[in-house]
Every structure is written in structure tokens, then in C-alpha cells.
Structure 1
Amino acid sequence: MATIHLIDECFEAAGALALLLGRRRVAVERGARPVQGVQVLAVSAAYELKAGGPRGVADLARACGAKCIVVVTEGAAAFALAEEMGGRLLRVSLPVTGQVALRDSGLLMLADILGGQVQAMVAADPATGQLIDLAARVARTDVTVFINGPTGSGKEVLARQVHAASRRANAPFVAINCAAIPENMLEAILFGHEKGAFTGASTANKGIIRAAEGGTLMLDEVSEMPMGLQSKLLRVLQERRLTPIGSQTEVAVDIRIIATSNRDMPEEVRARRFREDLFYRLNVFPLATRALCERPDDIPVLAAAMVRRHTPAGSALPMLSAEAITVLMSHDWPGNVRELENVIQRALVMHEDGVIQPVDLLINASAPSAMLALARAV
């Protein structure tokens, strides 16, 4: 069933929006009148007038069950976003650029506004769409998931997507970076401890695993976990029980486990840096994220989403010029999504007149050169 309905009467951008949202794996339908079960209703400003104004569109949204209404004014001088009805009605002013969808910053922004109401993951590359589909299917079960991929390629975003689409969505999502915690502290942080179990344990602590009770535990960079602790984690996976440090009593846990790593896990197993039995317990359903340079169609939609995310509330949203989008798509992004986010944040500082141009992107900028560029711009 469609989650977004575009009433395409007097709505010239409806086709391009449906294409962008479909590539993002958001269910879209177009037509004169939506059916039941729609989450977001999008109409043109002209249709809103025909329907009798905001109240008429609100009545239509209520009839089909939509929780959010987006009214689009096409042909505007600049992109703008305003909220009414406590955020349940969004008004979007959309400039006409004549660019194809993946080069049209306004369309990308509008697609992000619409799609963001129903799905957190951003995608336009077909293979990324297939990955989202796989994540949605595995989310229906409690099977353990192993996500492998380069650093900064979106492993935690994918893990959160699996959690959000699962029966555990209303329970905690708890993430721990196994590489960021000293080895002598990791066991106590994971399994918890009783009061007085070791020096400094002045109170009992239930630990990260039990903090995720009923929900999802993400073990980020699990390949960095010490070998001695791997055997204890294996027991949790097998028995769904653990023993806190200093306790003689096992405690049952109800959690779903998602593990991630940026390493070649078969090689880690061959080198005896990671237990083979634990790897196969974790790798029940493997998912793989890819480097950003391998999915260039994702770059424009990610960039548009980042512009929205990092623009202060109430401020005008700057647009990415088609030339800037071309530059972004031509870069190889060794730092993946994190590097792209850094570049977009710099561009939001550097841009003028509401448009991000290639000169504002500061790709490959070292700290001194970036500061020099900022000094010249002031």
C-alpha cells in the first residue's frame, strides 16, 4: 500500500518526485484521489484552492488517514519551507530549474521532505534500494544481522533502519563501539556488574546488553573485541543469558543483535583474530554497505538531506547548484558519507545568496587552507 500520495492535478513535478521517491524505495501512488492507508498527502497550491483551502485539504487527508500534508507552490523564486497546523501541514515553495531530477536541488529537497516522513534511509542508487529492501525483509524476524562495509558508509544508519522496521521498534536501540572502550572495561560495560565486584564498583550496573532488553543491541566494530570476551558473547548468542561480573546468577535477556565491522571477516578468522564459531553465530543474515564512490546516484540525495539537516531551524534552505552537484558526483569520497557531510557543512558556511556553488565545497581542504579561504571570504 502506498505511503505517499501525489495528487498530480496541476502538479507538474509529480512525475519527477514519484521517480525520486521510488528509487528511495518509498511506496508512491499518483492520481486524483487517494485511497485509505496513505501516510503523506502531497498536493499543489492550485489544487488546495480548488479543494476549498487548507480545511478542504485537511478533510481529504483525514478521510484517507494521512498524518502529514505537503502543499507545493511551483515556479517560486526561491526554495522555502514553512510549517502550519503544528507541523502537520508543510508548505514548500519550489523553483523551476529545468534540470533532470538528480541535478535539481529543489526536487531533491522536496523528495527528502516527503520521504523523510516515512523512511529514514536516503537512497537513489538501484543497488542501495535493493539493500533497503533486504533490510526491510530481515526486520520482520529476530534473526541476528552482520553488516560489513567501509568506515563511514552508513552501517549504523542501516542497523537503525532494521530496528525501526522491526517488532522491537518501540524498545531501546543501544549501540556500543567495541573499538572505543578499553579492553579492561569492556566486559563490565557489556555484561554489567554487582556492587563491590571490583575496585571502584560502588554500585551495581546492569550493563549495555541488559539496557537493550526487548530491543536491539548494535555491536559496532565487533571485530575489535578481545578474544577472551568473544567466548562470553558467544554464550549470550547461544543461550540468551549472561552472568554479570561478581554474580553467581545467570540473567535471561531478550534482545536482537546487529553486529558491524569494516574488516575482511573471513581473513580475521583465518588469522585467528576472531573466533570462527562467533563469526558464524553473528553472520546469520549478512548485509553489506558500499563505498560512496560505488553509488554516485546516492550523492545528490544525501547532499540535499544533509543541507536540510544542518541548516538551522527557521533559516532559509540554500540550494545546491547543478554545477555543485556535478562536482560532488565526480569526487571519489575516500571518507565516504562522513566526508560528504563535512563538505556540506563547510559549504553552508561558505555559500552566498542562497546557492551553494562549486567554489563553496572545499573538497580536499586541509584545515589551514580552509581557514584561509574563510578569511578571504569575510
Structure 2
Amino acid sequence: MAAIQIIGTDFAAAHALEGLLARRRVRLQAGTGGPVAVLACSARHEAASGGAPGITALARAAGARAVVIVEEGADALAISGEMGGRLLRVALPRASGQPAHRDAALLMLADVLASQVSAMVAADAATGALIDLAARVARTDVTVFINGPTGSGKEVLARKVHEASRRAAAPFIAINCAAIPENMLEAILFGHEKGAFTGASGANKGIIRAAESGTLLLDEVSEMPMGLQSKLLRVLQERRVTPLGSQTEVPVDVRIIATSNRNMPEEVRARRFREDLWYRLNVFPLTTKPLCEREDDIPALAVSLLRRHCPADVALPLVTPEAMEVLLAHDWLGNVRELENVIQRALVLHEDSRITAADIVIDAVPQLPVRALHLAAV
């Protein structure tokens, strides 16, 4: 678990932050010592005074990779960076009176801190349990199968497994098995020799070998043609790849993570997916839930997406409690991808550094006046 050190007894948001960061599996610790990734302090502790060291000296002594200086009680939310992003200043408005896991400003501060240690966005208990499970499996080399609806964060979870594993310094390569034509997928996966087929003007080692010592993500593996499934099975069994046009097997050391949004036992029963391959892939199953079943993740994801998509030259807006209630009331059939679209629309529509309920446009179909609809029909 990553750790964030906080200094300054006047840091009023510390207790609320501790709970928010714990949901993201980040520990908040006071004082000095221990594994420290980020040093956070209140603005009045920035400069040295009365013989006490300044924030720069404290950060160096603690081995902090980044420093976040928080000014509480500000008129508006603001985040600015210095020293190439290693020093961040956060102007934090007064508490909204909402619970911490619904307070947009506190969630934004928690996101700023947690992002410094690459923590996965989470607030719901079910998501936290999934992160814990992923961290445990990351310590091993077993094959992982992630099942869940489209847009629910399967690839994000796969990346977190890779980043927490001993293979983190090696490549993480993802391929969408549904997006590549069948006649190209075999060559892309397994590689080919020069002249193996028309247009093969040179050799290519393929993405399985490109992921050597790292992790290969087979996204939507349930869409893989049956003919290739048997070849993939052999790779999993033998840990060897035979490129197209070659008679020589090449050993590979790669961890496989596969994902699908389908009911895999049903796919096996319908003979659309090989049963033996399914058992090879499903060594350690992880399941992502639809967003509507993890309500507490919605506010945390909303502010994280807000930070990601807000242009650098635009003041970061604050989501009002009324707007947050609109987000929480929606069923999010499109999961995180739908939420991301809604947040991007809100960034276009908002004014005065606030995202209000009126800026939350769930229905993307433009509503034309009756007269315009009549003219369009004519």
C-alpha cells in the first residue's frame, strides 16, 4: 500500500482525507519515517520559521517524490503546478457540508494526492476489495481473466496488476481481439517470417514476443476466431511461439491477462469458445461490476475525469452538490465511458467555475424546437 505523509497540525481536512485515501488503498501517515511517496502540508507550513525546516528540506529528508501544498478555506478550487509538476498547490474551498465521499473539493484533493502514487480511482467498498484482490494476484505470475461489462474498467485493472507485479519495468502490451481482421490477427499475435504471405516484405516478431518479460493483455478474447484459439492454447501450455512461415519454436516469457464482456460459460456451451482454452485463461478470475452497482465510485470518478479533461488554460470547475445528485441518480448503462462523455459535455457547458445540475446532459441527442423538427421533416 502506498503512503502519503502529511505535516501540519492545522490541516483540517486530514481526517476526511484519510478515509477517502483509504478507499483508494493509500495510507495517510503523520510525522516522519516510513515509506513516503508524497508530502502534503498546509500553506502556513511551507516556509521555514523559528528554526523549523521549510517544506523543501522536509521533503528531501522524507524522500518524497512530490509535494502538495494545500491552502484551506479558499474562495474557489484551484490547482497549479511548479517544478515540472513535482510541486502542486491546491486551493481548497470550505467544506460543502456533504459527506466526505460526496464532497467534490475533498474528492479533488484526494485525487491529486492519490494520482501521485498511481492509485486506482475508487471509493466503493466493492471496488476496494477488487483492488486488494488484484494486488494479491499481482505478486504471482498466474494467468488472470477479467470479466465485466464494456466500459467498466477491465483494462485499467489489468494495467494495475501489471504495475504491481515483478514485471512492472517490462512492456505492457494490449491488443483488442475484436478490432483486428481475422486474416491479420494471427500474424500480429504470433509474428511472421519474410515472405510468409503476400505483402510480408520483412520479418515481424509479433506482439506476444514484443511483450517478452512483461504482460500481454488479450482484450475481448472471446472474439478470437476458433482457429486461433488452438494456437493460443499451445502458447499458454508450452510457452513457445511459432511465427508464420517458420518451423522453429521461439520460447517466450510473458504473463497473459485476458478480458471479456461475455458470459464465458455460455460461450463455451455454445461452442463459440474452446473449453480447454477457457480453463487455461481462467486461472484467477477477477470481475468488474457495472457502475450502477458501485454508487460511491461515481463522485470519485467524476472529479478524476474532470481533472483529466479540463484544459490547462481553464480554471478547474467544482461540481455542485445538486449536480452530484444528478450523476448519482443515473443508471449509467454505458458505465465509465458514458460518465466520461457526460463530464466532457459539462466542461463545455459550465460557467463561473461551477458545474451545476443544468450542465449535466445525460441525453446526448439535441432537443430541437418543434418548428425546427417540422422543417427538418419537410
Fold agreement, TM-score > 0.5: yes
Are the equivalent residues in 2 in contact too, given 1:8–1:14 (CA < 8 A)?
no
Rounded Cα–Cα distance in structure 2 between residues aligned with 1:88 and 1:201: 47
Cα distance, 1:104–1:113 mapped onto 2, change above 3 Å: same
Are the equivalent residues in 2 in contact too, given 1:362–1:370 (CA < 8 A)?
no
Are the equivalent residues in 2 in contact too, given 1:148–1:289 (CA < 8 A)?
yes
1:86 positional shift: 2.8
The equivalent of 1:19 in structure 2 is 19
Deviation sequence 1:136-175 (CA, Å, 0-9, x none) = 1111111100000000000000000001111111111110
Q: Which amino acid aligns with 1:47?
A: H
The equivalent of 1:28 in structure 2 is 28
Q: Which amino acid aligns with 1:62?
A: R
Are the equivalent residues in 1 in contact too, given 2:38–2:68 (CA < 8 A)?
yes
Cα distance, 1:165–1:52 mapped onto 2, change above 3 Å: farther
Q: Secondary structure at the match of 1:27?
A: strand
1:80 positional shift: 0.8
Deviation sequence 1:71-114 (CA, Å, 0-9, x none) = 10001011111122332211110001232212221111100000
Q: Secondary structure at the match of 1:151?
A: coil
**2:296 maps to 1:297:** yes
Q: Which amino acid aligns with 2:11?
A: F
1:369 positional shift: 3.3
Q: Secondary structure at the match of 2:253?
A: coil
Rounded Cα–Cα distance in structure 2 between residues aligned with 1:357 and 1:371: 23
Are the equivalent residues in 1 in contact too, given 2:2–2:117 (CA < 8 A)?
no
Rounded Cα–Cα distance in structure 1 between residues aligned with 2:140 and 2:349: 46
Question: Which stretch shifts more, 52-61 or 200-209?
Answer: 52-61
Q: Secondary structure at the match of 1:235?
A: helix
Q: Secondary structure at the match of 2:70?
A: strand
Q: Secondary structure at the match of 2:36?
A: coil
1:66 positional shift: 1.1
1:46 positional shift: 2.0
The equivalent of 1:3 in structure 2 is 3
Are the equivalent residues in 1 in contact too, given 2:24–2:119 (CA < 8 A)?
no
- TM-score, reference length from structure 1: 0.94
Q: Equivalent of 2:38, from 36, 40, 43?
A: 40
Cα distance, 1:138–1:2 mapped onto 2, change above 3 Å: closer
1:37 positional shift: 1.9
Are the equivalent residues in 1 in contact too, given 2:26–2:119 (CA < 8 A)?
no
Q: Secondary structure at the match of 1:9?
A: coil
Cα distance, 1:340–1:128 mapped onto 2, change above 3 Å: same
Seq. identity, %: 72
1:6 positional shift: 2.1
Rounded Cα–Cα distance in structure 1 between residues aligned with 2:42 and 2:98: 20
The equivalent of 2:154 in structure 1 is 155
Cα distance, 1:95–1:265 mapped onto 2, change above 3 Å: same
Rounded Cα–Cα distance in structure 2 between residues aligned with 1:57 and 1:4: 15
**2:163 maps to 1:164:** yes
Cα distance, 1:249–1:71 mapped onto 2, change above 3 Å: same
Rounded Cα–Cα distance in structure 1 between residues aligned with 2:320 and 2:126: 26
1:36 positional shift: 3.4
Rounded Cα–Cα distance in structure 2 between residues aligned with 1:302 and 1:336: 11
Rounded Cα–Cα distance in structure 2 between residues aligned with 1:103 and 1:36: 30
**2:232 maps to 1:242:** no
Q: Secondary structure at the match of 2:137?
A: helix
**2:189 maps to 1:190:** yes
Are the equivalent residues in 1 in contact too, given 2:134–2:161 (CA < 8 A)?
yes
1:267 positional shift: 0.7
1:220 positional shift: 0.3
- The number of equivalent residue pairs is 369
Are the equivalent residues in 2 in contact too, given 1:48–1:54 (CA < 8 A)?
no
Rounded Cα–Cα distance in structure 2 between residues aligned with 1:362 and 1:355: 15
**2:83 maps to 1:85:** yes
Cα distance, 1:160–1:371 mapped onto 2, change above 3 Å: farther
Rounded Cα–Cα distance in structure 1 between residues aligned with 2:274 and 2:291: 30
Are the equivalent residues in 1 in contact too, given 2:317–2:353 (CA < 8 A)?
yes
Are the equivalent residues in 2 in contact too, given 1:81–1:91 (CA < 8 A)?
yes
**2:62 maps to 1:101:** no
Are the equivalent residues in 1 in contact too, given 2:48–2:55 (CA < 8 A)?
no
Are the equivalent residues in 1 in contact too, given 2:2–2:25 (CA < 8 A)?
no
The equivalent of 1:376 in structure 2 is none
Gaps of 5+ in 2: 371-378
The equivalent of 1:349 in structure 2 is 348
Are the equivalent residues in 2 in contact too, given 1:36–1:65 (CA < 8 A)?
no
Q: Equivalent of 2:63, from 56, 62, 65?
A: 65
Are the equivalent residues in 2 in contact too, given 1:9–1:47 (CA < 8 A)?
no
Rounded Cα–Cα distance in structure 1 between residues aligned with 2:368 and 2:99: 32
Q: Secondary structure at the match of 1:75?
A: strand
Are the equivalent residues in 1 in contact too, given 2:25–2:119 (CA < 8 A)?
no
Deviation sequence 1:332-372 (CA, Å, 0-9, x none) = 00000000000000000000000001111110221x33999
Rounded Cα–Cα distance in structure 1 between residues aligned with 2:80 and 2:241: 50
- TM-score, reference length from structure 2: 0.94
Cα distance, 1:89–1:54 mapped onto 2, change above 3 Å: farther
